[in-house]
């Protein structure tokens, strides 16, 4: 069921695709601390959602995906513990997003900065509208820094040199540059196409074998954390001993579409 339109995060399940919409368009969807906590709760709920195929994250309105954390939230930061607690909690939330068992797609337009850019980097795929402006302009705004985990995600996507350029200059990437760097895997032709294309992509992914997708996501996570010597026995067995593997063989030999169950 869709959430009430006055909530700051809207949710709706459309078939096998779950939509999350950051809903503060009057402030370019800037995140409050309560919104971050709500996102954390939602991700836990989604993890338990049955027969889901993909998750799309987007921003309400036409001006932003998420324009970072609402700066008013930082006015009460007075102690070292405030800073460390905030960054640790952000790491908790983004790690939950990154490790969600279902594939995630960030549909990006307008401002995608600071905390919004961090959310996008924690998603599996990103598609961009022409209006996208992506970056971490904190060297000319707040004078804070990112956590190591956020630097690592960004570095994995665009490389160390580009991370330095982005953070040192406080510049924002436009959509074409984000696409050229591989940050956005797809650039849609116009603003009106973004959400429709995100839905198409999510539905395409949701129609494929869920165990293959889940194993791929987990294997890549292990590669980043443990290197090429990470153990994959459980992933191999989960796929090869599954009902879906037998169904895939039968469907291929029978020249029909497979009916995946994720079991």
User: For the domain bounded by 9-206, which CATH number is listed?
Assistant: 3.90.226.10
Distance CA 245, CA 209 (A): 9
- Report pTM: 0.95
Strand bridging mode 104-108 / 54-59: parallel
First to last CA, the chain: 26
pLDDT of the chain, 263 residues: tens digit per residue: 566 667 999 999 999 999 999 999 999 999 999 999 999 999 999 999 989 999 999 999 999 999 999 999 999 899 999 999 999 999 999 999 999 999 999 999 999 999 999 999 999 999 999 999 999 999 999 999 999 999 999 999 999 999 999 999 999 999 999 999 999 999 999 999 999 999 999 999 999 999 999 999 999 999 998 998 999 999 999 999 999 999 999 999 999 999 999 99
The pLDDT value recorded for residue 260 is: 96
The pLDDT value recorded for residue 4 is: 64
The number of C-alpha atoms within 13 Å of 207 and in the hemisphere containing its C-beta is 8
The pLDDT value recorded for residue 1 is: 52
The domain limits of the chain are 9-206, 210-253
């Amino acid at each position: 069921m869709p959430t009430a339109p006055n909530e700051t995060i809207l949710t709706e399940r459309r078939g096998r695709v779950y939509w999350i919409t950051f809903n503060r368009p009057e402030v370019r969807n800037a995140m409050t601390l309560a919104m971050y906590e709500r996102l954390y709760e939602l991700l836990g709920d989604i993890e338990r959602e049955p027969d889901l195929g993909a998750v799309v994250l987007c921003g309400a309105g036409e001006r932003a995906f998420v324009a970072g954390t609402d700066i008013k939230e930082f006015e009460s930061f007075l102690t070292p513990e405030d800073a460390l607690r905030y960054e640790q909690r952000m790491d908790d939330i983004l790690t939950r997003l990154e490790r969600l068992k279902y594939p995630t797609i960030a549909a990006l337009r307008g401002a995608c900065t600071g905390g919004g850019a961090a959310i996008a980097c924690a998603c599996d795929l990103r598609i961009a509208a022409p209006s996208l402006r992506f970056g971490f302009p904190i060297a000319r705004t707040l004078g804070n820094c990112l956590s190591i985990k956020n630097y690592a995600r960004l570095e994995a996507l665009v490389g160390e040199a580009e991370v330095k350029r982005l953070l040192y200059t406080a510049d924002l990437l436009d959509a074409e540059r984000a696409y050229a760097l591989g940050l956005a895997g797809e650039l849609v032709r116009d603003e009106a196409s973004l959400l429709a294309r995100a839905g198409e992509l999510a539905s395409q992914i949701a129609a494929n074998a869920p165990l293959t997708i889940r194993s791929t996501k987990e294997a890549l996570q292990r590669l980043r954390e443990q290197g090429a010597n990470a153990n994959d026995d459980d992933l191999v067995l989960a796929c090869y001993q599954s009902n879906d593997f037998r169904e895939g063989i039968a469907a291929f030999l029978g020249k029909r579409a497979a009916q995946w169950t994720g079991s």
